[in-house]
A and B are shown apart, each in its own frame.
Chain A
Amino acid sequence: MMNWIAIGSLSDIPRRGARCVATPEGKVAVFRTQDDQVYAIDDHCPHRGGPLSQGIVHGTAVTCPLHNWVISLETGKALGADEGVVRTIPVRIEGEHLFIALEALASRAA
């Protein structure tokens, strides 16, 4: 049973942009693509920990602002020649409202 937690609405995030959600274990970056798909991943590049939420969003990927790693928003994996993966977090959209599934977070916190 997923524990869905409301985090705000779609219009809070600019298209081809991201916002952060603060959690006890650090920030989660929530992305909105050009065609209004929403993805959530840890705001922490697998390379040197760069804040992925600050990167340029293109297609379903983001380029890290520190050293230009390109991370897939769908899988959390580094694209191209780089190797690394960042945790993805389930997202649900109900109308305008956005929810993320937090039990992963809760279970780790517990």
Chain B
Amino acid sequence: MSEKLVIIGNGMAPGRMLEHLLEQAPGRYTVTIFNAEPRVNYDRIMLSPVLSGEKAYEEIIIHGDGWYIANNITLYKGHKIIAIDRTAKTVTSDHGVTEPYDKLVIATGSVPFIIPVPGHDLPGVLTYRDLDDVQAMMLAAQSRAKAVVIGGGLLGLEAAAGLNAQGMDVTVLHVMPTLMERQLDPAAGYLLQRAVEQRGIKVITKANTKAITGNGKVAQVELADGTVIPATLVVMAVGIRPNSALAKEAGIAVNRGIVVDAGMRSNDPDIYALGECAEVNGQVYGLVAPLYEMARVAARQLAGDEAAAFVHMDTPTKLKVTGIDLFSLGDFAEGEDRQEIVLRDAAAGVYKRLVLKDDRIIGTVLYGETADGAWFNDLKKKQTDISEMRDTLIFGQSYQGGAPLDPMAAVAALPDDAEICGCNGVCKGKITGAITAKALTSLDDVRAHTKASASCGSCTGLVEKLMVLTIGDKYNPAAVQPMCGCTTLGHDEVRRLIIAKSLKTIPAVMQELEWTTSCGCAKCRPALNYYLVCDWPDDYADDYQSRFINERVHANIQKDGTYSVVPRMWGGVTNAAELRAIADVVDKFEIPMVKVTGGQRIDMLGIRKEDLPAVWADLGQAGFVSGHAYAKGLRTVKTCVGSDWCRFGTQDSTGLGIRIEKFMWGSWTPAKVKMAVSGCPRNCAEATCKDVGVICVDSGYEIHFAGAAGLDIKGTEVLGLVKTEDEALEHIVALTQMYREQGRYLERIYKWAKRVGIAEIKRQIMDDGDKRKAYYDRFVFSQKFAQVDPWSERVSGKDKHEFRPMASVGFAQAAE
């Protein structure tokens, strides 16, 4: 019989503890978790990048739902434990679930400290603690109004930067004379304040908040000196205190936090506590590294190793605000027995200070240039005598012993026990060891196996250098391939930032995302134009100069500079009048070649550019519209004759094909989209190698996707079976919209599907009705702006400059 382990709280510390425990004592415990937050375990350190729009919630999940299922762990989401009965050894949740335990782990974390000023409970006053807070802030930020952040510490500044990135006018109030005074000395605090202010965030120090006022909701913040600051959002980020109320009520010893011994055990031998709610040797902790150390110790204790003990360590602090480099470690107060080495470079915005005692580093503050942080940390931890290199110490590791080392050599020179990842306490030797032993070749692999750079990510560069040093060329650092030479960002990041920062023009994207060229290149411009067309269908003005010539003139350029024209034939069906009109056009414009395409329509090749509008005018008379044969968009829906004619047909495949084509024509997509509908499994329309295909069967419509029959050949995947034509259309449209929103420019559906996973696509389109409907609705909305026949527009005179020369010169002189 396995023992029952109950965990109260599902933050990063208990999550990490479980990982260790599952490794060290698999099957020993039956685990049940109660999480007051209605979600899985996510990386709380990364909430700031979520707030600033640089990351999405999905990207910061540590354990997805599948992890709990795979490890047979019961997770009660949104259940707050309200009572612990130590006699009966049970816990009870606010939803009435009572669970017995053999061992109990309390990991209730901390609660934000609220300054008890008048008005602190008004609507519009938030704290900065969990995803709900972040979502509330992002919602408030949509107003682009004024926000006040009370607290100029780590959390307050990250909140301010995030709100600023979301477009709010932010003021930071800080009660002390300089920012982050617990981690920074005044000089670095001053530099930080200047950098924060340069981002357009106002900072008021020595600010004593007297009251928050407003009629029913926040309107302003009043300071003790009489200053009044208007604000519709107030974020309190003045500190946290351990959340130990539940333990206290249960009669467990509580001081500032829940008092535990070095083995993380409370005064009840069956109850452990860890994380921010725990107090060890009189200290409580808030940074992730010591919390993970607690998790390691608790797991070993639970696995039976009673010798495992927590040891205090100093943890470096880093600020996660893009563009501000800051590192602080240890003790940097001045004292008679201490000496300091300071380096200032005002022009470069660099400030470095080392505090020494008995020729050993005891504290470090780095601002603007933090690459040597790991090295200083290592010297401090090992209590290295630095007297030999004292003169050059402040210049960093590169300057020790002769010529400066390049960054790669500096990493190579680090000892095996040098700490690389501060969050997870991973040293160099462990990383290089894992790379070699497990033949790891990607950053994700290294993260999965060692946890290095898996939390705040700031040591990613170091980890990548270690990969290069260990396996050389086998490591492909371009895991994120930049879109093009104009940026270091990949397609996915650009797409996310376009939405997060509400970027609605190409110049805005290039400015905000720091493009290195003035107006992009032929690779990024069409991609950006597509992303903006897709994401802001009503707001964005299509930039034709950023489209490839075919999409600019709505025909296909040929090798001799002439064009080909393909009118739409819905579902591949035509009639005598249409064929006659095509024949007349071919005669009139002396079109040299007419060919039937693979998509069941007719291509006219060799048309001079100047003739295009006239050709379209004649075709338009017969009812033809553009077939978009040139577009990264919906091309054709190929059909067979189906139940109307075929003796095997099970459904009206021709009718469904026409219906899909009429619904979806004109939509732009990351790459071309070709579809087909076959009326029976004999599959005469070849639907199983298309981007999207339908095979009609007696019981309904089997929807296929992610096929290919070009550079690659690949049969389709089955999305699922639906009963009616209406459902088939809704599913196909939703799938296409999902692809439109996530695909990288020029990435066909099969490549996109491989990247995001067939199962995930099925989950969103087949299983999640709300998601499907939302995708469908967004597609329908964008079609309002997309379904305009480009040919008739140009017949009416749009873009006429495209089709004729601006002048004819020199002919007269030549004739003379």
Query: Which residues from chain A sit less than 8 Å from chain B, CB to CB?
Result: 5-8, 12-17, 19-25, 27, 30, 34-35, 48-51, 54-59, 63, 65-66, 68, 70, 100, 102, 105-106, 109
Contact of B807 among A22, A56, A57, A58 (CB under 8 A): A22
**Interchain CA distance A109-B545 in the complex, whole Å:** 34
Is the pair B801, A56 in contact by a Cβ cutoff of 8 Å? no
Does B79 lie at the interface of the complex (its beta carbon under 8 Å from any beta carbon of A)?
Answer: no
Alpha-carbon distance between A23 and B813 when the two chains are bound, in angstroms: 10
Cβ of B635 within 8 Å of any chain A Cβ, yes or no, is: no
Other than A22-B805, A23-B810, give 15 A-B pairs with Cβ distance below 8 A. Answer: A7-B806, A16-B519, A20-B806, A21-B806, A49-B561, A51-B557, A54-B557, A55-B522, A58-B519, A58-B525, A63-B521, A63-B522, A70-B522, A102-B809, A105-B810
Q: Cβ of A51 and Cβ of B545 under 8 Å apart?
A: no
Q: Is the CB of A17 within 8 A of B805?
A: no
Report which of B522, B561, B806 forms a contact with A19, defined as CB distance below 8 A: B806
Known: A5-B809, A30-B806. A17 touches B549 (CB 8 A): no
Of A21, A102, A109, the residue contacting B805 (CB under 8 A) is: A21
B255 at the interface (CB under 8 A from A): no
Known: A48-B559, A50-B561. A34 touches B519 (CB 8 A): yes
Sample (20) of A-B pairs whose CB atoms are under 8 Å apart: A5-B810, A7-B807, A12-B801, A16-B519, A20-B805, A22-B811, A23-B808, A34-B519, A35-B518, A50-B561, A54-B561, A55-B522, A56-B521, A56-B522, A56-B525, A56-B545, A56-B546, A58-B519, A102-B810, A106-B810
Which residues of the other chain, B, contact A13 by a CB distance below 8 angstroms? 801, 806
Which chain B positions have C-beta within 8 A of A55? Answer: 522, 549
Give Cα distance in the complex from A29 to B694, angstroms.
Answer: 47
Complex CA gap A35/B518 in Å reads 10
**Which residues does chain A contribute within 8 Å of B559, judged by CB atoms?**
48, 66
Query: What's the nearest-Cβ distance from chain A to residue B799, in Å?
Result: 9
Chain B's closest residue to A105 (CB) is: B810
Chain A residues with CB under 8 A of B518: 34-35, 59
How long is the Cα–Cα vector from A106 to B814 in the complex, in angstroms?
7
Contact of B813 with A109 in the complex, beta carbons under 8 Å: yes
Specify which chain B residues have a CB less than 8 angstroms from the CB of A57 in the assembled complex: 545
Q: Which residues of A lie under 8 Å from residue B547 when comparing CB positions?
A: 56
Query: With A56-B522, A63-B522, A68-B522 known to touch, is A19 a contact of B801 (CB < 8 Å)?
Result: yes
List residues 715-766 of chain B with CB under 8 A from any CB of chain A.
none
Residues of B within 8 A of A16 (CB): 519, 545-546
Q: Does B548 contact A (CB under 8 A)?
A: yes
In the complex, A52 Cα to B559 Cα: how many Å?
12
B811 / chain A contacts, CB cutoff of 8 Å: 22-24
Question: Across the two chains, which residue of chain A brings its CB closest to B561?
Answer: A51
Q: Looking across the interface, which residue of chain A has its beta carbon closest to that of B507?
A: A34
Shortest Cβ gap from A48 to chain B (Å):
7
Is B142 at the interface (CB under 8 A from chain A)?
Answer: no
CA of A63 to CA of B518, assembled, Å? 16
Tell me whether B526 is interfacial, beta carbon within 8 Å: yes
B561–A59 touching, CB < 8 Å: no
**CB of B384 within 8 A of chain A?**
no
How far apart sit A54 and B547, CA to CA, in the bound complex (Å)? 10
Say yes or no: A24 contacts B810, CB within 8 Å: yes
Whether B517 and A19, one on each chain, are in contact in the complex, defined by CB atoms closer than 8 angstroms, is: no
Q: Mark B789-809, 1 if CB is under 8 A from A, else 0.
A: 000000000000100011111
- Give CA–CA (A84, B526) in the complex, Å: 26
Tell me the complex Cα distance, A43–B374, Å: 57
Q: Please judge, given known A-B contacts A34-B519, A109-B813, whether A14 and B806 are in contact too, CB under 8 Å.
A: no
Contacts of A59 in B (CB 8 A): 517-519, 521
